[in-house]
Every structure is written in structure tokens, then in C-alpha cells.
Structure 1
Amino acid sequence: MKRWQRPLAHALFGIALIAIGEAHAQYPNRPIKWIVPYTPGGITDTVTRLVTNKVQAALGQPIVVENRPGANSIIGADLAAKAAPDGYTFLTVIAAHAANATLYAGKLPFDAVKGFAPVSLVAIAPLIMTAHNNFPVKDVKQLIEYAKKNPGRISFGSSGIGAAAHLTTELFKQTTGTFMVHIPYRGTAPALQGVMSGDIQILVDVPSSMMPHVRGGKVKALAMFSASRVPGAMEVPTMKEAGGPAIESSTWVAFLAPANTPRDIVTRVSAETEKAVAAPDIRQRFEQTGIIGAGTTPEQLAKFMDEEIARWGKVIRAAGVKADD
């Protein structure tokens, strides 16, 4: 570089830094896209819309939720991972994202950890175990006894391979030394029909999906995978209270951004998310459906996701779960 060019280069570099700083200071100055890799109406979509509705009010720009379902959330996650890391694209993930790191190891078009910047763990929904009304057990203790006397004669459903409900039931089998046959469905709705009709005997899912049918007398609740009873389903005993192992398991909802999104933007969105989750009306809505609000820092979410990937990876390997089962 010629001597006269150096001052010019330094000046241009300084102008660029100022421009970036001003852009961050003015953030956001246009609408934000929020990808939900599932269909509308489920817990992922509902929690996202409830929380981002408050976040957008705080940020002063609209948040546009885009439902991009498919391939066990991989399609939507890939779109987010490949988006510009400028703070104008975010992603909602659930427990399946942690499972995908093992289920699709070496096959994902993105890195489930390094491809994203953690923003906040938003909410946790402890899972509930339900049974067909005519299935001859009244609690988890009797279920374990029946399963041990009748190995392979009980079938359990799930919303899909690698879903939190599927892996939680596999964990239950491993912990109790029982053998039940997995019947994967394409979503909670058909799995629910399966347990109500008796095509399957056991179904684990979130309280928001199951409790209306429990209270309507269409299925019976056996236990909640939680340490204490859950608001919104207080009549359902914990797994330990029902005579089973003290297993805690849930699905959860977390917010991510593309990797390398500016730290100050991630921190701000995380802080606004925490405020939104703490709002009384959001807490009330969550509790009515068996959801527990969280609202963590990016660092806390990073630690949580590392633990979830390790936990479910162990279950997947022990059960021999394959993505194409």
C-alpha cells in the first residue's frame, strides 16, 4: 500500500465502524423475521407468538412469524442457520433440536450447536403420560408390573421419531427395564386419535394437548414427568407419586439466532424475552396450559442445550433409535 493510501484506508475503516455502531444503536429499524419450524397452533407456535408479541412492542418493530415446517424441524432451522447474522432473523426450537444433533449426526446441513447463537430458554412444559381408558392399569406402578408380565404387548405412540415424548418413553423403558413397542405418528393429533381408539395403549405428550381429553373422559392420565405437580394439571400425580421412577422430562421452547449475530443484539432480545416471560398475563396463560416460564440468559441457554444434547444422545444410542425407523 502506498503511503498516501494508508490515511484513506484508516479513515474508511473508521467510517465503517461508525456505521456499524450506528446500525446497532438504531436496531431494529425494520421488521424482524421469526422462523417457527412447525405448523401453526402447536406449543412451539403458540409460545412464540405470545412472547414475541410483547418483544416487538418493546423493540418498536413488528416481528413476523413464519411457519416453515418439515423434516423434523430441519428445514426451518436450516433457513435460520443460513440467514444473515444481522439480528433480523431468529428461530424457535424445541427439544427435538437437541435430539437431531444425535439422530442426524453428520447429515444435518448445519451444526446444531455452532450454527446458532443462544438467545433465551423461554418455557418448559413437563410431559404427561396417558393411557387408553380400557387399558387395565390405574397408575404407573401397575403399568410397570403389567409391562414386565407382558413384554412387547404394549404399544406407545408419539408425535414422531426423536420427539421429546418418544425419547421420554424410551427413557422410561430403560429406567424400568420394560419393553414396549413404539408406533410413531406424524404429529400429536393422529397419535391422540390412536390412544383414544385403542390402537396404542400409552401416549406421552404435553398437558396442553392431553388435559382437555383427560378431563373430557376420553383418555386417562397416569402421571406427570415432573418433581412436583404442574399448574394447569394439578390433579395429575407426579411420576414418583404414581409409583414410578422419579424421572423428570419435558419439552421446551428456546429462541436462537444465526451464529455471529452481534452480541449486543442477542443480549437485548434476550433481555426483552425475559421481561415478556415474566409478565403476569403471559405467566397466567402459561400456567393454564401446564407451561412453566423460564426466560434465561444466552449463557444459561447454552449450558442447558449442551446438557440436553448429551442427555438425549445417551438415550438415543441406548435405545438404538434411528431417524428412518
Structure 2
Amino acid sequence: MLLRRRATLAATFAATLALPGLARAQGFPDRPVRIIVPFPPGGSNDIIARQLAEQMREGLGQPVVVENRAGAGGNVGADSVAKAAPDGHTLLLCPPGPLAINEHLFRTMPFAPARDFAPVALVASVPIVLMVTKGLAAQSVAELVALAKREPGKLAFGSSGNGSTNHLAGELFKTMAGLDMVHVPYRGAAPAMTDLVGGQIQLMFDNMPAALPQVRGGSVRGLAVAGSARAAAMPELPTVAEAGVPGFEAE
């Protein structure tokens, strides 16, 4: 999570989470706090932000509102925070893309990450899951790789946008497995998941909070987790590395 750059405000916000009584005595926050999620509702960032907002309301004694502002790989939402008053009442919760990756992908950026933001906290680190649409003739990573090699250029993988972590995970998978697949970027992980469920795309890497209910509900088929170890929440899924692509790791 990040907020507008001002060192004293970053320190104050960190203190308010631990010492809400002191924060109220100092007058912060004196109105509702906004958490901007630069992707549509329903994705992992949105899920995490709403869970965090509930806890923050109790500690801060003020409403904490989650706002979704999607577009341009997260740049639209991040820019709205960059241009907000630097008073600690507007926060950004996002993955690395808007602040560490996009400046290497976009010709121009509406903000400068190092100048316009100050880090507050690492909120969550979650596993990434490789999933396929349930109608695909692939029950394992090895079968998926074999299918993609038999039909080069025919399988499409979705992501939450160019430069997103699930996009880069897909590109790494393509490279390490020697595959020819089509990347389909969306304005967030939630619409990509909708098309995966509907069969418009064949596979996708997505974060565990969004992937788990879809896999458990039978809407999609989970093949593997992308990290270096199996995930406690889905121990039946192997890692991509142990399932057929040695050395693969994305988190």
C-alpha cells in the first residue's frame, strides 16, 4: 500500500494503525479514508482491500472506503492518488505493476512512482495459481504444455493487463516451456476470470484469493501454483516446476 509522498504522513499513518488513540488525539484521520484499487471489483487486490478496510475502520475510528479506478494497467487509479492531497487520507493498494513495472512499458507516465508515492506497508503476499478453462483437454501442466505445442498460437492466456504480475507469469511460462500462445490483456483480473470461466480464453495465472473460490466451485480447473512451494490453501496442486517446467517460479 502506498500514499502520496510526505515522510511525516507515512510515519503518522503507520503509527495510527498501532496507536489509534494517539492518532485521534492528534486529529488524524479527521474524515473518511479512501483506499484506491486501480483494478475492477472482484480481483485479488479488491478482495484484500475490502478485508483491510474493515480492520482499519475499527482502528482509525473513521469510515474507510474502497474505490475501484481501473485502466491503463493500473495507471489511472495510481494517478488519482498521485494527484490527491498528500494528507494521508487517500491510499493506494496495488501489485508491483503500476509502481515498478509500468514505467518500463509505457512511453509516458502521468506520475513518477519514486517521487509521488511513499511506501506504507506490505499488506499481503499471495500465491499465484495456473488455471485452465474446464473444457480444455489438459488435466495437468504436462498435458497443457503438450497441447500448446501441438497447436501453436491457438491457446490464449488472459491477464489483468500488460505488465501485470499474471501477464509476466504467463510470458515466463511461455518462454520456459517453449510455447506459442496469445496474450489477451484485460482491464483487471476479474473480467479475465469471467472469460476463463466462459471459455473465451483457455488459461490464466491469477492470485490465490480470486482463484480459490473458482477452482473449489468447479468453474475452472487448477493445475499448479507458480511459487517455489505448494500452497497451504491448495496442497493438492503441485508447483509448476515439479509438474513439468523445471525452474519456473513466479510470486
Cα deviation, residue 104, structure 1: 1.5
Structure 2: which 5+ runs fail to align? Answer: 1-22
**1:171 paired residue number:** 172
The count of aligned residue pairs is 227
Equivalent residue runs for 1:253-272 within 5 Å: none
Q: What residue number does 2:58 align with?
A: 57
Deviation at 1:225, TM superposition (A): 0.4
Q: CA deviation at 1:224?
A: 0.5
The alpha-carbon deviation at position 168 of structure 1 amounts to 0.8
Matched-pair contact (CA < 8 Å) for 2:29–2:60: no
Distance apart, 1:27 and its partner CA: 4.5
C-alpha separation between the residues in 2 aligned to 1:218 and 1:40? 19
Give the SS at the match of 1:73. helix
5 Å-filtered alignment, 1:73-222, equals 73-97=74-98, 98-105=100-107, 107-222=108-223
Aligned position for 1:30? 30
Task: Determine what percentage of the aligned residue pairs are the same residue.
Answer: 43
CA contact (8 A) 1:28 1:61 kept: no
Letter in 1 for 2:215: V
Displacement of 1:29: 4.6
TM-score of the pair, normalised by structure 2: 0.77
Relative to the length of structure 1, the TM-score reads 0.61
Shift of 1:28: 0.8
The 1:198/1:39 distance shift into structure 2, 3 A limit, reads: closer
Return closer, same or farther for 1:24/1:101 CA change in 2, 3 Å cut-off. farther
What secondary structure sits across from 2:91 in the alignment?
strand
Answer yes or no: is the 8 Å Cα contact 1:38–1:45 preserved in 2: yes
CA change 1:66–1:181 in 2 (3 A) is closer
Distance, in Å, in 1 between the alignment partners of 2:217 and 2:49 is 28
CA contact (8 A) 2:35 2:90 kept: yes
- Asked if 2 retains the 8 angstrom alpha-carbon contact of 1:156 and 1:202, the reply is yes
Q: Match for residue 312 of structure 1?
A: none
* Cα distance, 1:199–1:75 mapped onto 2, change above 3 Å: closer
Amino acid of the structure 1 residue aligned with 2:157: F
Q: Is the 8 A contact 2:225 2:238 kept in 1?
A: yes
Deviates more, 1:112-121 or 1:82-91: 82-91
Unaligned runs of 5+ in 1: 1-22, 251-325
Judged with a 3 Å threshold, the aligned counterparts in structure 2 of structure 1 residues 34 and 190 are, in CA distance, closer, same or farther, namely: closer
Q: CA RMSD in A?
A: 2.6
Shift of 1:145: 3.3
Given that residues 157 and 200 in structure 1 are in contact (C-alpha distance below 8 angstroms), is that contact kept between their aligned partners in structure 2?
A: yes
Alignment CA distance shift 1:24-1:81 (3 Å): farther
Change (3 A) 1:89 1:183: closer
Using the TM superposition, give the Cα deviation of residue 30 of structure 1 relative to its aligned residue in structure 2, in angstroms. Answer: 0.3
Q: Which moves more between the two structures, 161-170 or 48-57?
A: 48-57
Between structure 1 and structure 2, the one with the greater Rg is 1
Runs of 4+ in 1 over 4 A off after TM superposition: none
Shift of 1:209: 2.6
- The 8 Å contact of residues 126 and 248 in structure 1, kept in 2 or not, is answered as no
